[in-house]
Structure 1
Amino acid sequence: MYNIGIISSSETIENTYTNQLSKTFYHVHKFSADEGLVGTNLMDVLIIEEVSGVGLKSTCELILELRRGFRGLIWVVSQSISKSSKLVYLQLGADGIADKEMEQEETVLQISNLLRRIYSKSIADEEGEGLTDRVSLNNSFDVVPENLSIMIEGYKEIGLTKLEFQIISYLIDRLGKAVTYEELYKHLWKDEYSSSSKGNKQYRVSNLIFHLRKKIEKDPSKPEYIKTIRSKGYMLVF
């Protein structure tokens, strides 16, 4: 689980990325540059939202202040930014720039890819092993894409089928959010979506979740991770 801090250069935080970030497995925190930056050093990523009317000088000062003690990623989001301003921000230590023409989803994906790469490298450095694709979601639940497996409590690796891995990955991307039977079915069996009945869709998804729970839950009848949302679908929680 990554912590994302969003800093607004105005008194009122008007962030446009919260909805997009909340679709992924991030904790989103809001900060105001005018109220101080206490706690920003605990974030994995800081997104500076440069609002209209705020000049180059203010954003430069903010990046410099953050870089004195912050080692994570810094991203600048602006509604209007020149090429020269982009170069200045990058020279001062920003890791990425997004403007109004860049889709929010694209920006979030870029940040996610960098986080995964950095985190995977730190695991390999600490353990001396090439776990370059391993993604840790918390202290007891890791994902190992290269093996189509998950690691429980740091030592018990559980192999999954392709469909099982696809569904757990989809739920991870929507951690803490209810996902409907139809949404899961459409993600897994795209070509058959329109021709299948509602009952068949729900049965196939439920059957897949049943087998997945048998592999990852201590007691499948009382699941800790994959919760049933009655009459709707499932939700992954930690």
Structure 2
Amino acid sequence: MYTVGYLIEKKQEVNVHLNFLTDKGWTLTEIKMKEQEVADQENLDAIIIFEETMSEACFWLMKLKKHVNVPIYLLSVIDESRSNIVYLQLGAEACFSMKMESEELYYTLANLFSHHSDKSSHLSAKTSTSSKQKAIELMPRNLSVLIDGKKEVSLTKKEYNALELLFNSPGQTISYRELKEELWNSEMNVEDKNYRIANIMFNLRNKIETNTANPRFIKTVRSRGYMLDIK
């Protein structure tokens, strides 16, 4: 259910719209501007202004828009297009007539709240995904690697193949034997090539690491091989 703040000019013992929303399980909180300075609005799904005079409604709108990010809806006694245009220009999400049936208002607001919530979640997920840059991204056509989405580094064929093997199994040790088979699989003479592997890793670190003494990406697993850390 939703939590809605509301502002009303004249204290009314009975307000059919508020009563209907309460009966539907919504939590309604009256906002008292002078004592609140719009505190605690983060917990609200929306704010409804019950307008009787345009000057007061405009004052509330301008003050609220400085402090809150939730949608603000306005129920108007006057219900004139010219007045509604002013309210919309001041930041009201939508304007409705006070003559509107309570049930119609309930379903209209419920749909608007649901749409606003879905949109916010989508934007949040999209922002989170786009802002999370890949630490390492292989560029096979260029025989290169992109670091943190910013710096592209060119590699030799063997350097690229070695990094690709590590990249395909992040966080796992790739043994000297696996590296030999990947890098020199076409050679019949399978002599000890650990020194060649070490030389390739040395060159790779010089190209992609900021601090080769304390490498961020390529970790040495003593007596076993190498591992890629891309957390």
- Quickly name the TM-score band, shorter chain normalised: 0.3 to 0.5
Structure number, greater radius of gyration: 2
